[in-house]
Amino acid sequence: MKGSEQLFKKAQRYIPGGVNSPVRAFRAVGGTPLFIQRAQGARIWDVDDNEYIDYVASWGPMILGHAHPQVVQALQRAVERGTSYGAPTALEVELAALIVEAIPSVESVRMVNSGTEAVMSAIRLARGWTKRDKVIKFEGCYHGHSDGLLVKAGSGATTFGQPDSPGVPADYARNTLLAPFNDLDAVTGLVKDNPGQIACIVVEPVAGNMGVITPQEGFLEGLRKVCDQEGICLIFDEVITGFRVGWSGAQGLYGVTPDLTCLGKIIGGGLPVGAFGGRREIMENLAPAGGVYQAGTLAGNPLAMTAGIETLKLLKEAGVYEHLEEKAAYLCTEAEKVAHSSKTSTYCTRVGSMFCTFFTPGPVVDYDSAKQSDIDAFRRYFWALLKGGIYVAPSQFEAGFLSLAHTDEDIEKTLAALHGAFQAAS
């Protein structure tokens, strides 16, 4: 770990906390974060040449595995044509067309540079379209770090015990209303108490930032119904689930149609990207077509578009999601057996190739039940896995991801390491 320790020490001289995104700092599990030097397929190597089987997948984007040859070769060709023009290109039209084809509710889509920008912009659009101010979000869901959404936020905000960030003016937070995930009664109560004032409900259709929590029967359908009744814009934040849980995302899996969808991660193939799209009548309110302003120097960047196009073309191939489903189901079923044989209290969740092991008996249905998890047990589990050459997210409140590059051998190696990890956790 020497190399990472030296780099971490130096990094802290120049970068706050030594990292460019808090959850990478290993604060929840202690110790020194790994500084990664390269990745290939299902593997990553730290600067000390330690090799790991990777289940973080850069927090979701690397569904093909790292450095897929088709993506790398396309990027090599693209970079020789220049890296950014600040002008429209055929590439962004091609990626937009792929997204529109994949997600029927998306009739028109705008590219941005991150998931944060996508959700922030979608909410501004919903407010502009409805001429209302208030937003309903769910405790423990994370939608990026724009001010109004850092209220009971998940992911790193929960990991560090600051779900409500300092620096967010009370004025912003006042327009953000909170409900527990999976609690439709709480939502209808908020709607009743704020008649005609709610612009949108924003939800991760599968919560992926407090571990992985699935929508209970009727929850998403209930949100759709209340939005139809009240003229509220339903926004699905599919930054994680988009092209992860299926070609048409979680909305395709659960058969519930949002008004706006936010995307990121996979659609950029590991390059900086975000997107939001939906019903044309709403999207046409966006500048320059309409008055709601949103912009970005590097939006639709030719390199990110290239990586995204190649990634989606490969995901579109027949059998891809069935293959991911089969492998992830095997991994998680066998992992649960190992956990039960070790007598460790765990509650496992999975949707497609995203999954989580909670260190609590469960059931885990919302933020409060997720927070029951024994994070000390998780820490012991994390370090035992790492020592066994398995790299999972350094936080109980994140998702694990399987890629198309994980082999049967990788999965058997992982299951072997889990025996020791669950022992360490118990």
Residue numbers annotated as active site: 142, 237, 265
Closest C-alpha to 122, from 279, 250, 231: 279
**Residue number, 125 or 338, with CB nearest to ligand KE4:** 125
* CB 392 to ligand KE4: min, Å: 13
Q: Quick one: which H or E segment has residue 134?
A: strand 134-138
Q: Cβ of residue 426: shortest distance to ligand KE4, in angstroms? A: 27
Spatial strand order in the sheet of 36-40: 36-40, 43-46, 51-54, 390-391
Q: Is the Cβ of residue 173 or residue 262 nearer to ligand KE4 in the bound state? A: 262
363 vs 165: CA distance, rounded Å? 28
- Give the pairing type, strands 274-278 and 347-351: unpaired
| Nearer Cβ to ligand KE4 (17/31) | 17
Closest approach, Cβ 155 to ligand KE4, in A, equals 4
Structure tokens at 266: 């996979």
Least distance from C-beta 249 to ligand KE4, angstroms? Answer: 12
* DSSP per position, 247-268: TTHHHHHHT---SEEEEEGGGG
Tell me how far, at minimum, the Cβ of 17 lies from ligand KE4, in Å: 12
Provide the minimum distance between the beta carbon of 179 and ligand KE4 in the complex, in angstroms, as a whole number.
Answer: 17
Nearer to ligand KE4, 58 or 285 (CB): 58
Query: Is the backbone peptide bond immediately before 363 cis, with ω within 30 degrees of 0?
Result: yes
Q: How far is the CB of 47 from ligand KE4 (least distance, A)?
A: 19
Residue 27 beta carbon to ligand KE4: minimum distance, rounded to whole angstroms? 12
Per-residue burial over 326-364, b = 16 or more CB atoms within 10 Å of its CB, e = otherwise: ebbeebbeebbebbeebebbbbbbbbbbbbbbbbbebeb
**Residue among 230 and 366 whose Cβ is closer to ligand KE4:** 366
CA dist., res. 353 & res. 411, Å (int): 13
Looking at the Cβ atoms of 116 and 306, the one nearer to ligand KE4 is 116
**Alpha-carbon distances of 143 from 109, 183, 303, 368, 383, rounded to whole Å:** 18, 19, 24, 18, 28
Tell me the pairing of strands 233-237 and 260-264. Answer: parallel
Judged by the rule CB under 6 A, the positions of this chain that interact with ligand KE4 are 21, 23, 59, 114-116, 119, 142-144, 155-156, 204, 208-209, 237, 239-240, 264, 274, 398
Q: Which residues pair with 66 in a beta bridge?
A: 41
Beta strands in 334-406 (DSSP E): 347-351, 354-358, 390-391, 400-401
Helices and strands (H, E) in the chain, number of each type:
15, 14
- The dihedral built from the CA positions of residue 87, 90, 95 and 98, taken in this order, carries a sign that is positive
Candidates 124, 402, 413; CA nearest to 285 is 124
Give CA torsion, residues 142, 313, 304, 125, to 10 deg. -50
Minimum gap (Å) between residue 275 Cβ and ligand KE4:
11
**Tokens coding 329:** 């189901």
**How far apart (Å, rounded) are the C-alpha atoms in residues 199 and 128?**
8
Strand arrangement, sheet containing 274-278: 108-112, 274-278, 260-264, 233-237, 198-203, 134-138, 176-179
